[in-house]
Amino acid sequence: MDWFISQTISGLTLGGVYALIALGYSLVYGVLKLINFAHGDVYMVGAIAAFGTACAFGWGQTADEYVRSGVMLAMLAVAVVSCLGLGYVIERFAYRPLRRAPRLNSLITAIGVSFLLESIFQLPGVFGASPRGFPQCELPLGPIRLAGATVRLEQLLILGGTLFFLLVCRYIILHTRTGLGIRATSFHHDYARLMGVNVDRITSLTFLLGSGLAAVAGVFVGLYQHQVDPLMGVNAGLKAFTAAVVGGIGNLAGAVLGGILMGLSETYIAGSAFSAFRDAFAFALLILILLVRPGGLLGSVAPEKV
Amino acid sequence: MMRPKQAVVAWLLAGSVLLSVCAAWAAEPSAPAAKPSGAPIKVGHLASLTGSEANFGQSCDRGVQIAAEERNAAGGVLGRPVEISVVDDQSKNQEVNNCMMKLIQQDQVVAVVGEIASSNTMAAIPTAQKYKVPLVTPGSTNPEVTKRGDYVFRICYTDEYQGRVIARFAYKRLGTKNAAVITDQASAYSINLSKIFTDEFTKLGGKVAVEVAYKKTDSEYNAQVNQALQAKPDLLVLTGYYTNVGNIVQTARKAGFEGPCVGGDGWDADTLYQIGGKALDNTYFTNHYTPDDPNPKVQAFIAKYKSRHGAVPDAMAILGYDAAMVVFDAIQRAGATEGPKIRDALAATKDFVGLSGTITIDAERNAKKNIVVVGIKDAKQYLKEAWKDE
């Protein structure tokens, strides 16, 4: 039982992070029908921006609660702002010029942007190739005992934070004019334009929203996983992309569901006697789900109109 | 009884002999070595300069470069300068073959130093064998490596020895009896080291309560650590590389584990201390050298390395230096640059004095070397014990 509780909390934490990243894939796919393969690297940039801020403010060296909370907010702010900028630049210069080109071209550009970011951050002057430890901060409470299981305060904080940002995202999509624009654009570009939606602007905003969520995921992961490196986005991006597909790409609730499912299944397997099959099992699950529901859990398969 | 005249002559003779010996002895270090000339002899260095084991590749390359410099200052090899061609395999197994082809076909190297990670060295062996280019690994400790081909040499100890020492140290010195073994399942080195540890630890009377696996690309270890701690172990055995070890120890400490952790030479990199920090107190690993070694040659190397790179060299820098020096020495003794001749000269390496100890290549193309147990306190290493077999 205690095994189950610890692993469930770990799985939910990891799943929440996947969900935050997966939303970015789904949002962009919704409006552009493009798999933004550079998204995992935007998340990496978020984590590294948070790392830089943490180092600059001496996070981990101070015990003052107010200073710590301040630094934490600063980390979030710097990460989000840098990722917003990055998301905008990527969309404006790598994808927008190709808007009318065949979709495959943008896909290749996305892969190119991904490699570009990874290579830039591997340069010794920028970040360097080897991983670096995230400054550690002793949280006021040690491991928390919950029905015999050990739960860490960071895990609860990250879970709460993830939930908060998911609700913010939901609010933006469902209750703001921008959200209405995003929904209209993902329905049909030309119809949206006829209704007076500025599709280019909405597309930019969608990228910004996705990048912002990735930045938040990056900050959480830096805090939680103790280390950042320029290739951390590759695996996380792949898993989050898978989560988005499992949930039904383009469907936001699906992305969250897929992320949680991915995190949980991975953690249960990794924490069992079959730990060597961590990824194999997670991806086998993906294949199984897609065999039964080709559109993903919450997605629908619309016949392609010719 | 000698007549006085003869005695004077004898004394003069003895004196002059002594003087000339002294002169020769004094002159030797300062005599300018003949400057190497002609086309350079190229030696390849296959290294992980970027990617997950970048620390290994970069340290090792610094060692190799210093070796080449010193050798050239001392007259080069066969009167010609040596030149190092370094290629980066990005810590990726699948890149190794391309890198080897580039070294052999484009750069025309006569021998290759590399890799550190056993999986990558093994990936390089088929190409080295095919083109008869000797491959000298500075740091691959997996026993399998040198069994894969007769052009492959190793100048460090093997995991069979290292794994046994870790198990004995844990059982006898730390007094631990109930171990959790955490293995990087994507690394040939880690898998094998875990196996050897488990065999020896069980033989000694200890128990391996649980075995857990991860992959070096995982970035989060809560699930595995929870699983390991479930068995209430008094020892964590982490046979993987520094990239993940620091992170895993952090996770274990946060989950409430206070006992010792042990591992092998894969731990040795500055990054470990930077990631692990204070959590690394009460952890130990086996290594090839310690910066506390009083040997003046080692201290001179440390000083040179420090002035250049601003850090104390880790074992990989030392081993890189030794591997390159062994290769230069072999080419010199072979008197030729053909692969088979260098191979034979390498196989005949005997009592070569390196920084990491004296290197004699045995019939299995391995070197028998000393092992040190390093402890960590306040994110700094100290010599825990220079291991002596008992």
Neighbours of B134 (CB within 10 A): 30
Nearest to B271 among A130, A275, A278 (CB): A130
Contact A226 B212 (CB under 8 A): no
Residue B116, pLDDT score: 92
Please report which confidence band the pLDDT of residue B11 belongs to, taking 50, 70 and 90 as the band edges: low
Whole-structure pTM value: 0.78
B61, B194, B227: best mutation site toward chain A, by most A Cβ within 10 Å?
Answer: B227
Better-predicted residue by pLDDT, B50 or B83: B83
Domain enclosing residue A228, as ranges: 10-129+167-292
CATH class of B4-156+293-359: alpha beta
In a domain? residue A47:
yes
The yes-or-no answer to whether B4-156+293-359 and B159-287+373-386 have a common fold is: yes
Residue A59, pLDDT score: 73
Residue B27, pLDDT score: 44
Nearest to B54 among A130, A227, A266 (CB): A130
Contact A14 B220 (CB under 8 A): yes
In a domain? residue A125:
yes
Strands B135-137 and B152-154: parallel
Domain borders along chain B are 4-156+293-359, 159-287+373-386
Contact B223 A266 (CB under 8 A): yes
A1 to each of A8, A148, A219, B142, how far by Cα in Å?
10, 8, 31, 39
B-chain CB neighbours of A276 within 8 Å are 185, 213
In a domain? residue A144:
no
pLDDT (tens digit, 0 to 9) for every residue of chain A, 306 residues total?
677 888 888 899 999 999 999 999 999 988 888 889 999 999 999 999 999 998 888 776 766 777 777 888 899 999 999 999 999 999 999 998 988 888 888 889 999 999 999 999 988 888 887 788 888 766 655 667 766 677 777 888 888 988 999 999 999 999 999 999 999 998 888 899 999 999 999 999 999 999 999 999 999 888 888 889 898 999 899 999 999 998 988 888 899 999 999 999 888 888 887 777 888 887 888 888 889 888 888 877 655 554
A-chain CB neighbours of B227 within 8 Å are 3, 7, 270-272, 275
What is the C-alpha separation between B188 and B190, in angstroms, rounded? 6
- Nearest-CA distance A302 → chain B (Å): 36
Chains A–B, number of C-beta pairs less than 8 Å apart:
111
Quick one: what percent of chain B has pLDDT higher than 70?
A: 91
In a domain? residue A230:
yes
Please report which confidence band the pLDDT of residue B14 belongs to, taking 50, 70 and 90 as the band edges: low
Whether pLDDT at B168 is above 60: yes
A-chain CB neighbours of B278 within 8 Å are 136
What is the C-alpha separation between A27 and A50, in angstroms, rounded? 24
Place of tokens 């990005």: B90
Condensed to tens digits (0 to 9), the pLDDT of residues B95-146 reads 999 999 999 999 999 999 989 998 999 999 999 999 999 999 999 988 889 9
CA closest to A231 among chain B residues: B51
A-chain CB neighbours of B256 within 8 Å are 142-143, 150
Condensed to tens digits (0 to 9), the pLDDT of residues B305-344 reads 999 998 899 899 999 999 999 999 999 999 999 999 999 9
Question: The CATH number of B159-287+373-386 is which of 3.30.230.70, 1.10.1740.110, 3.40.50.2300, 2.40.110.10?
Answer: 3.40.50.2300
Residue B23, pLDDT score: 47
CATH number assigned to the domain comprising residue A244: 1.10.3470
What is the C-alpha separation between B201 and B164, in angstroms, rounded? 8
The DSSP annotation for chain A comes to: -HHHHHHHHHHHHHHHHHHHHHHHHHHHHHHH----TTHHHHHHHHHHHHHHHHHHTTTTT---HHHHHHHHHHHHHHHHHHHHHHHHHHIIIIIGGGTTS-HHHHHHHHHHHHHHHHHHHHSTTTT-SS-EEPPP---SS-PEEETTEEE-HHHHHHHHHHHHHHHHHHHHHHHSHHHHHHHHHHH-HHHHHHTT--HHHHHHHHHHHHHHHHHHHHHHHHHHHSEE-TTHHHHHHHHHHHHHHHH-TT-HHHHHHHHHHHHHHHHHHHTSTTGGGHHHHHHHHHHHHHHH-TT-SS---PPPP-
Contact A129 B185 (CB under 8 A): no
Residue B67, pLDDT score: 95
Please report which confidence band the pLDDT of residue B10 belongs to, taking 50, 70 and 90 as the band edges: low
Whether pLDDT at B178 is above 90: yes
ipTM of the complex: 0.77
Number of domain units in chain A: 1
